[in-house]
Structure 1
């Protein structure tokens, strides 16, 4: 005896119409679904995520993290170096892993050379993706007498022995 004969015809029709027990006619037309994890409900990838998480994933996949870390380093220099130090210095270049910091005076540049290890460790702790391997401290830019429209080759007007 089959299961259909045990159920009343009205119940079998009801189950067939509700889709609980497919009819032989619907088997031919029904497409077979494939289970792909990307579209399955209640899987970990389907949970809603915050905008920060989406942007973090985007920056990692696009390879923007080192450049963004360098920009964050420059933007938050006052936190990395300290408020007093940042008032007298500014990062001016980052080339081949060497961060160049310009100071207001040569005295500040010399003082920062003594603090180099402390500042470098703070940079590596906060921004490891920035690629900073060394720090170079320079003094202020001073005007040069060797350039310009009236520059004289050699020692010029300071040459009193000639």
Structure 2
């Protein structure tokens, strides 16, 4: 390479200067007794025994464990190994409630919790709660089709909660105000 004090040759390009610098470096390495190859410099003495080259086999035309797998299958296998399948099934019931029971029923009843394979559903009125109790077996069949068998074994359907008149520690026993609405 051209230093600060060296005059630059007329007509030499950057490519020519790089080639000359490489030739000078190779000549200096030969003079020092080091081997010089075309690529990287040869490595220094190895400290451990060389490993035998691993023979890489070819996979066949069929599916193999080394092939890319669909994300759903990978996630399903992971959930199975970690024991998450029951929680995923519960989440499916709660998250896909509209799709399972239909838009009309979902507009009037919502699942609240799933505990011990019993799904607690709250209806917006006592009439809807009665209707849901009548079609309870059909709802269970739809849930089993989407989330799997034995995820939900029974439904506990309740109507809306009435307001509590019991306030504070001291209260009067009895039925409370009944004729105040009308």
Q: TM-score range by the shorter chain?
A: 0.5 to 0.7
Which of 136, 148, 153 matches 1:116?
A: 136
C-alpha contact 1:70 1:130 (8 A) present in aligned 2: no
Between Structure 1 and Structure 2, the one with more helix by share is 1
Structure ranking higher on relative contact order (CA contacts 8 Å, 6+ apart): 1
CA drift at 1:73:
1.0
State the alpha-carbon separation in 1 of the partners of residues 65 and 129 from structure 2.
51
Instruction: Provide structure 2 residue ranges, at least 5 long, that are not aligned to the other structure.
Output: 1-49, 178-182
TM-score by length of 1: 0.67
State the alpha-carbon separation in 1 of the partners of residues 171 and 118 from structure 2.
35
TM-score by length of 2: 0.61
SS at match of 2:65: helix
State the alpha-carbon separation in 2 of the partners of residues 157 and 115 from structure 1.
35
SS at match of 1:45: coil
Superposition misfits of 4+ residues, deviation over 3 angstroms:
29-33
Instruction: Provide structure 1 residue ranges, at least 5 long, that are not aligned to the other structure.
Output: 1-28
Residue number in structure 1 paired with 2:97: 77
SS at match of 1:143: coil
What is the alpha-carbon root mean square deviation over aligned residues?
2.7
Q: Spell out the pairing of 1:7-156 with structure 2 (5 A cutoff).
A: 31=52, 41-42=58-59, 44-128=64-148, 131-145=151-165, 147-149=166-168, 151-155=170-174
Count of aligned pairs: 126
Instruction: Give 1 or 2 for the bigger CA radius of gyration.
Output: 2
C-alpha contact 1:109 1:139 (8 A) present in aligned 2: yes
